[in-house]
């Protein structure tokens, strides 16, 4: 272990007395030592971000100057792409193929897209309310924004939030998950080298239990954008209620994939495998419930299970690996507990359901891709997010039943519909209570399009024009243009 990872506060890299060993989930070995923020460092970051917004140059920069800074971050990520991909793989257990071709390029493209588009999103609007009154609607930055990032897509989700927050003119405090802080702390070097003014971006690794309340309750913070579990989201909402502030909450999911009998079976099976087993199932949009029309259910299940057994588990840095380890032993134990409970409630494991016996994988947190059937719609695993490589398979008769099954949980993040009948699919999409509906595909995120869920999956959007505007506030400036310079209010008391 030789990688040391300091915090980044007010333009300075800061080592703290408290350190944390960062473990490679593939091997269980320590790969880095990261500084941990205490309340002291959280206070420093809050003060730096507030000072930088209220008195620093960043909010006063022209939009074109801001664009140059955002563009530098896109280029900086690309210039360091190989290193960042390897680091993300070592820290998260994601297969190197995923980090190389998905996570890192997508992170750079997020900044590139925002640099090229945010100026158009900020056009002021003039409204002539009457002959005497004109109004100008102005978009301004929110102020100080706290960005709290999950461990499943550490760099990518950090970039989703940073690109919008910075382009809008905010100053930020970024808190990555303490399980996976490495690429966020490495991003601090790219930000520093890009010449951002001190205090505009502060990146602090720390335990949510220790610094979460300090960051989320403080009145110096104008907005919080959080992606993570429902449990943590509810805690953040409680903290934030002490001083009112704007929130974006991107929480959990229990998404459904609806497979109709007219599909190309091979395409639907292959795509459905990716929809649940990509990133080891550790995705909030994972299609963890697959409903198949009864005419093709048996064939779909047989093909899906047979191919799931062939997915190559392996060390994440091996280019041939298709599925890596879970993030931690604790997460693996959580997955196993859900499967045990599902069995106790009548569910049956068709394939997987256990730790692999391969000696090469013995020190990592690996778990086999798992398919469950005969799971009751009232069972815990049907309704609750597992966040692992576990999928439930059910059959349905028609589109009304499919919609009912998809909507029968508390979450509303995403849904897949597979059918050659696009009219049926589009009509069904209107009945599904979820923020993103994919028809005949899965997992296609576009910087042009907003992303976010309904119900217990949260509120607010990331990405696109709508996601960018979340990081702004709307000001209404009203100008009276009465011909004699005497507005109506002048006559109210008649003096």
Catalytic positions, please? Answer: 250, 284
Rounded distance, CA 304 to CA 325, Å?
21
The 10 Å CB-count burial string (b at 16+, else e) for 265-279 is beebbebbbebbbbb
Rounded distance, CA 422 to CA 409, Å?
25
Instruction: Kindly state the tokens that stand for 157.
Output: 């989700």
Choose among 254, 256, 299, 230: nearest CA to 442: 256
Written as one string, the DSSP assignment of 368-404 is --EEEES--TTSHHHHS---SSEEEEEEESSHHHHHH
User: Which single residue is written with the structure tokens 């022209």?
Assistant: 62
Choose among 219, 347, 333, 350: nearest CA to 297: 350
Strands in 390-396's sheet, in edge-to-edge order, are: 348-351, 370-373, 390-396, 289-293, 256-259, 414-418, 436-439
* Residue 297 dihedral angles phi and psi, to the nearest 5°: -55, -50
The CA-CA-CA angle for residues 334, 5, 233, to 5°, reads 40
Instruction: Kindly state the tokens that stand for 44.
Output: 């420093």
Neighbours of 129 (CB within 10 A): 11
User: Beta partners for 478?
Assistant: 135
Please say whether the dihedral angle defined by the alpha carbons of residues 206, 212, 218 and 221, taken in this order, is positive or negative.
positive
Rounded distance, CA 59 to CA 55, Å?
9
Instruction: Kindly state the tokens that stand for 337.
Output: 């507990």
Instruction: Kindly state the tokens that stand for 142.
Output: 């929110």
Distance between the two ends of the chain, CA-based, in angstroms? 80
Rounded distance, CA 434 to CA 419, Å?
18
Farthest-apart Cα atoms in the chain, separation = 92
User: Which single residue is written with the structure tokens 């205090």?
Assistant: 199
Q: For strand 348-351 and strand 144-148, is the pairing parallel, antiparallel, or unpaired?
A: unpaired
Where are the strands (E) in 55-206, listed by range? 125-128, 133-141, 144-148, 171-175, 201-203
Collapse the DSSP code of 311 into the 3-class scheme (helix H, G, I; strand E, B; otherwise coil) and give the result.
coil
Q: Answer whether 392's CB lies under 8 Å from 277's CB.
A: no
């Amino acid at each position: 272990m030789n990688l040391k990872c300091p915090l980044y506060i007010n333009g300075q890299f800061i080592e703290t007395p408290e350190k944390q060993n960062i473990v490679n989930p593939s091997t269980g070995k320590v790969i880095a030592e990261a500084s941990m923020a205490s309340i002291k460092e959280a206070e420093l970051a809050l003060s730096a971000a507030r000072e930088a917004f209220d008195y620093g140059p960043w909010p006063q920069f022209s939009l074109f100057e801001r664009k140059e800074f955002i563009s530098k971050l896109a280029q900086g990520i690309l210039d360091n792409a190989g290193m960042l991909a390897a680091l993300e793989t070592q820290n998260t257990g994601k297969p190197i193929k995923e980090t190389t071709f998905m996570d890192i390029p997508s992170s750079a493209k997020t900044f590139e897209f925002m640099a090229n588009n945010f100026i158009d999103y900020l056009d002021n609007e003039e409204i002539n309310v009457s002959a005497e009154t004109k109004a100008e609607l102005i978009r301004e930055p929110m102020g100080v924004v706290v960005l709290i990032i999950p461990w499943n897509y550490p760099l990518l989700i950090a970039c989703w939030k940073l690109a919008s927050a910075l382009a809008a003119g905010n100053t930020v405090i970024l808190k990555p998950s303490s399980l996976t802080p490495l690429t966020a702390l490495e991003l601090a070097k790219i930000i520093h080298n890009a010449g951002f003014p001190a205090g505009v971006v502060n990146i602090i690794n720390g335990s949510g239990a220790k610094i979460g309340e300090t960051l989320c309750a403080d009145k110096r913070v104008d907005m919080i954008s959080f992606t993570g579990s429902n449990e943590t989201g509810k805690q953040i909402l409680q903290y934030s209620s002490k001083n009112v502030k704007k929130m974006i909450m991107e929480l959990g999911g229990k998404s459904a994939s609806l497979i109709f009998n007219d599909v190309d079976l091979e395409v639907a099976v292959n795509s459905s495998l990716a929809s649940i087993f990509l990133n080891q199932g550790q995705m909030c949009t994972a299609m963890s419930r697959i409903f198949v029309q009864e005419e093709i259910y048996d064939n779909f299940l047989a093909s899906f299970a047979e191919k799931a057994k062939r997915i190559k588990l392996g060390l994440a840095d091996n280019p041939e690996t298709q599925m890596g380890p879970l993030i931690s032993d604790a997460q693996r134990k959580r997955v196993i507990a859900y499967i045990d409970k599902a069995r106790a409630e009548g569910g049956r494991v068709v394939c997987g359901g256990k730790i692999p016996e391969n000696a090469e994988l013995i020190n990592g947190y690996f778990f086999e891709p798992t398919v469950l059937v005969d799971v009751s719609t009232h069972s815990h695993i049907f309704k609750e997010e597992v966040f692992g490589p576990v999928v439930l398979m059910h059959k349905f008769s028609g589109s009304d039943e499919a919609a009912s099954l998809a909507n029968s949980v508390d979450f509303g993040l995403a849904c897949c519909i597979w059918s050659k009948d696009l009219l049926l699919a589009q009509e069904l999409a209107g009945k599904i209570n979820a923020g993103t509906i994919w028809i005949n595909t899965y997992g296609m995120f576009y910087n042009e399009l907003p992303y976010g869920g309904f119900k217990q999956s949260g509120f607010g959007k990331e990405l696109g024009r709508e996601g960018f505007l979340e990081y702004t506030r709307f000001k209404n400036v009203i100008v009276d243009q009465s011909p004699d310079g005497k507005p109506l209010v002048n006559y109210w008391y008649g003096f």
